Amino acid sequence: MYQAMTEKQLIKEKTDGGILAPKGFKCDGVHAGLRYNKLDMGMIVSETPCSTAAVYTTSHFQAPPLLVTQDSISKAGKIQGIVVNSACANACTGDQGYKDALMMRSLTAKKLGIDEHLIAVASTGVIGEYLQMDKIAAGIEMADPGKESEKAEAFQTAILTTDMVMKRCCYTAEIDGKTVSMGGAAKGSGMIHPNMATMLGFLTTDAAVSPEHLEAALKEVTNTTFNQITVDGDVSTNDMVIVMANGSAGNDPLHPGHPQWDVFKGMLRESCASLAKQIARDGEGATKLIEVSVKGAVSDEEARKVAKKIAGSNLVKTAVHGADANWGRIIGAIGQSEAEVNPKTVDISLGSIAMLEGSKPVAFDEGEAKEYLLKDNVQIFVNLHLAAGEGLAWGCDLSYDYVKINASYRT
């Protein structure tokens, strides 16, 4: 009963909130000239050092900003400020790229008047180009972090690349009689296939929680949220999700033995899931969000594998884009998964429209199915009928515009 209350009653979504909703945080976004006429640098700062946790791309080519951020967090598990630029990923740039990322950290620390090891660095954009450090330095000096909603919007805009819309979220809950808030902002629309992707996620909270418990919670939640989205199957060099917790809400320190630990974890899960789905929905050239729900697998992990295989299938994605109710594409994706499957017991439906039961075709109305697939949000349900494992994944359709966007990405 308490768990049900945790998820359904104690966590509230604030549709007008964002990364500045938690107490003690400021941010800004500026135009430094890295892009022709768009905001291209952002900054987040807390009034006090924050317990910090992060997860990173599994690419062999982790970009220098990630290495610098990992170095900062390793010092004491705390961060107080983040600097981020778009337009240039500073990836595959060798020793010079690492020196430039260190310089971004140093200049930001000087600007904010805090120690260098309390600064995290993030970059996104074109791979293989060097940062224009004169413009980076000017942008850092230009930034004037504040609490106004316009500052949050400026930050959310500055981190975007091919994104069409800003991604943000906010959740609150009562913990130890205190109102605890969690806000988030993210970017990402293409090169998305986490264990992470070309995505950056920034989460702020005024909860009190130690770095080690925050890290454990983030890693657990990431596996069922950010790592369950896919746009095009490609993994980037710069992906990172970072959570900063400054304790300004005044709650007792959170840990797995705290009676409301699950409330906090629920807030983190809701925040990450919201941002993950927004990223999937904004896939380059996408017109629809695809949500795949799999149950009846031998484990939750196996269910997630099947769900992500379906959401990432180009044939499924193009069928959804063309409103073609070809469940054979879904069967094809399930057949390729590494999960255990009994080919005689699979059920498939699009929304409420059953198409396969016990691996046998079910007659359905093609017109009704086409009308369903024309909607903005498409749900695919699969039951493997093996055990109790369940999992979700999110993706998007594959459109003609995806090719156009990526054929001219650098121009």
What Cα–Cα distance (Å) separates residue 359 from each residue in 71, 235, 328, 355? 51, 33, 11, 9
Q: What are phi and psi of 19, to 5 degrees?
A: -65, -20
β-pair type (200-205, 240-245)? parallel
What Cα–Cα distance (Å) separates residue 81 from each residue in 97, 218, 299? 20, 19, 39
Both structure tokens of 164: 């069409």
Amino acid letter, residue 180: V
Residue in 108, 161, 198, 230 annotated catalytic: 198
DSSP symbol at 363: -
**How would you class 363 by CB atoms within 10 Å of its CB: exposed for 0-12, middle for 13-18, buried for 19 or more?**
exposed
Calpha distance 202→69 (Å, rounded)? 13
Calpha distance 144→154 (Å, rounded)? 11
Beta-strand runs (E) in 57-188: 78-85, 119-123, 167-175, 178-187
Residue 15 among the catalytic residues: no
SS3 content of the chain, % helix, strand, coil (to 5): 35, 25, 35
CB 323 within 8 A of CB 368: no
- Give me the helices (H) in 196-345, please: 211-224, 261-281, 300-311, 314-321, 327-336
Residue-by-residue DSSP string for 25-48:
EEEEEE--SSSSSS--EEEEEEEE
DSSP symbol at 158: H
Return the active site residues.
Answer: 198
